[in-house]
Structure 1
Amino acid sequence: MAEATTLRSLLSRQGCLTLPGVFDGISARVATSIGFDALYMTGYGVVASALGVADAGTATFTEMLDRVRVIAGACNKPFIADGDTGYGGLLNVDRTVRGYASAGASGIQLEDQEFPKKCGHTEFRRVIPLEDAVAKIRVAVDARPDRNFLIVARTDARYAEGMDAALRRAERFLQAGADVLFIESPESLEELRRVAETFKGAILLANMVEGGRTPYLSTSELASMGFKIGLYPASGFLTAAGALRLVYRHLKTTGSATGSEAPMLPFTDMNTLMGFPAVHAFEKRYGLADSHKK
């Protein structure tokens, strides 16, 4: 479960909050152990790790909700969870927001793409009519349990209709009650600055994807522009996939995983990360450890 510190209180501090993308129990535990103040459940990472397919609208609400529960159970940090398009119409958005909040998320990201949606740094994205998108944000705001559950309103209109349209949509989302504005994939530093200058005083999120469409900046650079959240959703799963490729290739070639260029966590450290000390303490407390010796 998330700790008492809320995302809203974290965002009231100076600077830009760094949110790493997590996608399963291991990544959530590692990010928590490193000391991040908050996390982000990446839809791309969840779909890739849980289903082994592209982030192209194939995941269902129940599949994503299950992963929200996993991450909430594996960490004690507040986190924003990717809610895609809300998995349907307005009733679905209502159910999605209530479900994510009940499962332990501290906020939800909702986007205005047509279904089936796609990763925000890929091709052929289209957006729904503006009034329909605004209605989804209004429903989300009404469905949340309290104001500490943040509604992150994302628009993909920069790709589909241009920056002017994206800014108009973001303004309407803000008027509808969104807490955080997320204009996906600006394609230059000038466009990032335009977003920040247009919405001075608002909580702005910038999505930093290695190899993506947006110039890749640090959180200190984003803070100097006026952004409050720097999202790094792909860093974890890109690194994990790269390390797996190295170690599996080495194992296939040599018949052994030792000596691979991929960094490998010692088994004892992995046991600690996953909570085995608590398991052993439990067994000792209830006499289970002694029974193993008989």
Structure 2
Amino acid sequence: MLYAQTPAHEKRRLFRERLASGELLRFPGAFNPLSARLIERKGFDGVYISGAVLSVDLGLPDIGLTTLTEVAGRAQQIARMTELPAIVDADTGFGEPMNVARTIQTLEDAGLAGAHIEDQINPKRCGHLDGKAVVDEGTAVKRIRAAADARRDPNFLIMARTDIRAVDGLDAALDRARAFVDAGADAIFPEAMRTLEEFAAMRAALDVPILANMTEFGKSDLFSSQQLADVGVNIVIWPVSMLRIAMGATERALDELNDVGHLTGKLDEMQHRADLYELVDYEDYNRFDTSVFNFSVER
């Protein structure tokens, strides 16, 4: 009832154990706390919290307009509703290295299991759009070193994301990933890889976990979990997929209301009331309420 029973530090420890196994861990993107709980119920390994989703949920484009306060607050709401570890997109760290350090400690306090910091310039762009630009290696490395030095829980995962593949090619991405590991990154997120062979090259070059971003309508083909596991990827995320599906369904329902005037024909596409109540533990709340207010007033 209320929130997850597993403390944040224990989620991090268990996540690190799973990550060390070398198996592929699947992290669908949650667009709100309830969807995070559904991801858990469906047997996935973790929850991903996308910066793009947090931005568009506010009606804003994903160009670095959200603040640390907004990201940490929403990420906390999502992370505390599931027993699974949650990784959050921390963009460029919300400022200079000292800001990056504060970002990491704030996200630790919010109950996250890890975060990734990227090497784009400010204002950033979505990782699968053209026209991206990255900072120089020295600036990028300072961000990651600040993140690694700032954490207090050694199990909080510091992941470095590099967008340089789309700017200067694969070799540049490999070099920057190595520099990030030397600076203290626990894992690498190579953005906008185009082929399985590129993921395999990244795997061969590094001795830390790597993440694959399977976002629709982007630069990468949509590889299956098995394909990614076969080339040694350790985490796969579908960052915006659940939001896209939910918004697509909402748009079709609104069209139905305009065209027909009711949603009778959409009932089989809806989550049933009983399933929703079960997902939010309605009966547990009812039992708790009854146990507290089970008195009568004498007259």
Q: What TM bracket, shorter-length normalisation?
A: over 0.9
Q: 1:37 to 1:189 in 2, by over 3 A?
A: closer
- Does the Cα contact within 8 Å between 2:203 and 2:233 map onto a contact in 1? yes
Q: What's the CA shift for 1:37?
A: 2.1
Q: Kindly report which structure 2 residues correspond to 1:129-168, keeping only aligned pairs within 5 A, or say none.
A: 129-168=136-175
Letter in 2 for 1:170: A
Q: What's the CA shift for 1:261?
A: 8.0
| Aligned-partner SS, 2:203 | helix
- Alpha-carbon separation, structure 2, partners of 1:261 and 1:275: 23
Q: What's the CA shift for 1:191?
A: 2.1
Question: In the alignment, is residue 194 of structure 1 matched against residue 201 of structure 2?
Answer: yes
- Does the Cα contact within 8 Å between 1:247 and 1:262 map onto a contact in 2? no
Which deviations, in whole Å up to 9, do the C-alpha atoms of 1:190-246 show, x marking residues without a partner? 3222222222x3211111112210121122211111111111112211111111111
| Partner of residue 36 from structure 2, selected from 21, 25, 28 | 28
Q: What's the CA shift for 1:169?
A: 0.8
2:287: which partner in 1? 281
- Does the Cα contact within 8 Å between 2:104 and 2:147 map onto a contact in 1? yes
Question: In the alignment, is residue 78 of structure 1 matched against residue 85 of structure 2?
Answer: yes
Letter in 1 for 2:287: A
- Alpha-carbon separation, structure 1, partners of 2:167 and 2:16: 31
- Does the Cα contact within 8 Å between 1:208 and 1:215 map onto a contact in 2? yes
2:72: which partner in 1? 65
Q: 1:52 to 1:146 in 2, by over 3 A?
A: same
2:23: which partner in 1? 15
- Unaligned 5+ residue runs, structure 2? none
Letter in 2 for 1:172: A
Letter in 2 for 1:8: R
Letter in 1 for 2:278: T
- Does the Cα contact within 8 Å between 1:83 and 1:109 map onto a contact in 2? yes
Question: In the alignment, is residue 247 of structure 1 matched against residue 253 of structure 2?
Answer: yes
- Alpha-carbon separation, structure 1, partners of 2:5 and 2:204: 33
- Does the Cα contact within 8 Å between 1:109 and 1:152 map onto a contact in 2? yes
Question: In the alignment, is residue 119 of structure 1 matched against residue 113 of structure 2?
Answer: no
Letter in 1 for 2:151: R
- Does the Cα contact within 8 Å between 2:32 and 2:78 map onto a contact in 1? yes
Q: Which moved more, 1:77-86 or 1:24-33?
A: 24-33
Q: 1:261 to 1:167 in 2, by over 3 A?
A: farther
| Aligned-partner SS, 2:66 | coil
- Alpha-carbon separation, structure 2, partners of 1:26 and 1:285: 26
Letter in 2 for 1:254: V
| Partner of residue 110 from structure 1, selected from 117, 135, 142 | 117
Question: In the alignment, is residue 259 of structure 1 matched against residue 240 of structure 2?
Answer: no
| Aligned-partner SS, 2:83 | coil
| Partner of residue 275 from structure 2, selected from 269, 275, 279 | 269
Q: What's the CA shift for 1:262?
A: 7.2
Q: TM-score, normalised by structure 2?
A: 0.91
Give the paired residue count: 288
Question: In the alignment, is residue 185 of structure 1 matched against residue 196 of structure 2?
Answer: no
- Alpha-carbon separation, structure 1, partners of 2:87 and 2:80: 14
- Does the Cα contact within 8 Å between 2:199 and 2:233 map onto a contact in 1? no
| Partner of residue 240 from structure 2, selected from 234, 239, 248 | 234
- Alpha-carbon separation, structure 1, partners of 2:256 and 2:280: 26
- Does the Cα contact within 8 Å between 1:40 and 1:79 map onto a contact in 2? yes
Q: Percent identity?
A: 37
Q: What's the CA shift for 1:57?
A: 0.9
Question: In the alignment, is residue 174 of structure 1 matched against residue 181 of structure 2?
Answer: yes
Which deviations, in whole Å up to 9, do the C-alpha atoms of 1:93-127 show, x marking residues without a partner? 01110000100000011101111112111122111
